[in-house]
Every structure is written in structure tokens, then in C-alpha cells.
Structure 1
């Protein structure tokens, strides 16, 4: 999801909880205010909050802190409404990278085992859940383990697929 705001909406959170309980992996942009925490809906514990990085693997000043994971989000070539392409920046540009890796994890796991992985939680560090694989399949920059700038790190699709097939 490439949307966000400062308000904790009870109705939205209930819908997200139901989706999470149904096994749906929810990924959302952390926000671009340089805030100390992700905006909503990324702030909900059921949601994977995504922060942005630049070409040098640095976190831009505007990427909200405390993401779960990070991905490229600066100067990303993207489609634009007038049937052209534009170079855009933001956590909304980073989020599709993570969503794509989630899809690859589930597809690889399904092809090998005939079922999909459960979503998991923010603290998972095993290959038994999507979030656990995401947390392990990163370039861990910043402080070791989770930190307020990169989360668990910058996601790596190649590592994620390897872990899903292990």
C-alpha cells in the first residue's frame, strides 16, 4: 500500500487484522515525513512497514524511521498517469520492491511444498514465515539486527528465494 496518514483509524485496523488473520501479507510505505515512526497503516503490527534507501544504500532524511525492512526508494523510474515514465522518490517507490519479494517467496515456496507460508510477526527470525524470511534475507546495514533506520536491512530477492526453498 502506498498510502499513509497520522491517524490511527479503528475501522481500517480491524480490516487489516482480518486480512492478516486470513493469511494475507500486507506491505505498506512507512511515510516520507522524516518522522520517528511509520505512518498508518504501516504502523500497525500486522503490516510490514517499508523504508527507503538511495543508490548508496543510505536512508534519506525524509524516510520515516522504524521500518521493518528497507528497499530502493530514491530516483526510481516508474510509470506515470499520462502514459509516460517519471523518476520518483519515496517510501511508496520502495514498497513495491518488498511486495515483489513477498510474491517471489510465496511462489517459490508453493512450487516446492504445495502451500504458502504464514505471514509471521515483526519478531520472526526463522524461515517458517514470510516475515521471518524477509528479516533474514537482507543486507544488514546500520546497527546489527533491527535498527531504527534500516529496520532489519535492505531486502534481497535472491537471498529470500534461497531461504524459501531451503
Structure 2
């Protein structure tokens, strides 16, 4: 019987020399007011069906491992959302296409609870991207409090 040792898989690791990698958790906050509009945004209109909420930046070279959505106070009944990303420059990448539902597709944003990523692709962003939440099901017309955490490894620019 042979002893097989796998080669070190941390090649291309960005940053320090920690044997634990460069795991990062990025947190994005989403809250709406009594009319259903996103607080601290560039819009005073209530969130509607088909609206895309830009939650913030995902850095170039980040490997997207996982995401969780914490619904502390849910949106209006039947509101659902898909969590994904689009590139900051608006130009798709053939090898790593932008995906509006990369993490979650049609997750329930009305019920208090935790949603976990259901996507099956492990990708590294070739350029800066934006984390987006696409709303479906119904318009929001109430106060809500949602937090999104994206986990990944910062591998640095290529």
C-alpha cells in the first residue's frame, strides 16, 4: 500500500503567510422604512417586483465560497429574492459569467430566518463585482431588516 501526499494547494494565495488562508466574511445591511423603501440608498420609492438592489462591492480576486441571508424582520408577504453578482464595469466575462442568482434563487425574504446559499459553483471573480439582490413575488410595503454575509477567500488580482 502506497502513502500518497498531496502537494500544497495554497499556491496563488494572496497576502500573509498564515496556514489558515485568507477567509473573509463581508457583511451587507439592507433595511427598509415603513413605506418599503431601502434606507441609506439613492431611492425613496418602495422596493418593487423586478427591482435590483445593489448591496455593495465584491473585490476582484475573491473566491465566492458561501453566503447567508439573515432575515430579522421580513418584507411584505410573498416577497422573494435572488442573490448574485454583476460586474462593476457591466461587461460579462466568458470564463466566469455574472449570475444574478449565484448564491440564492427565489429565497423567501418575508419569513424570519436564515437562508443559505444553494449554488453549486465555486468561482473566483476576475474583476470587481457588485453583490445584487433581485426582488420578485411582490412589492415591499413595510419595515424590514435583512443582513447578508458573503464568505470567500481573497486570492488577489490575477
Scaled by the length of structure 2, what TM-score is found?
0.24
Q: Which has the higher contact order (CA 8 A, sep 6+)?
A: 2
Scaled by the length of structure 1, what TM-score is found?
0.24
Is the radius of gyration larger for structure 1 or structure 2? Answer: 2
Where is the strand percentage greater, Structure 1 or Structure 2? 2
Where is the helix percentage greater, Structure 1 or Structure 2? 1
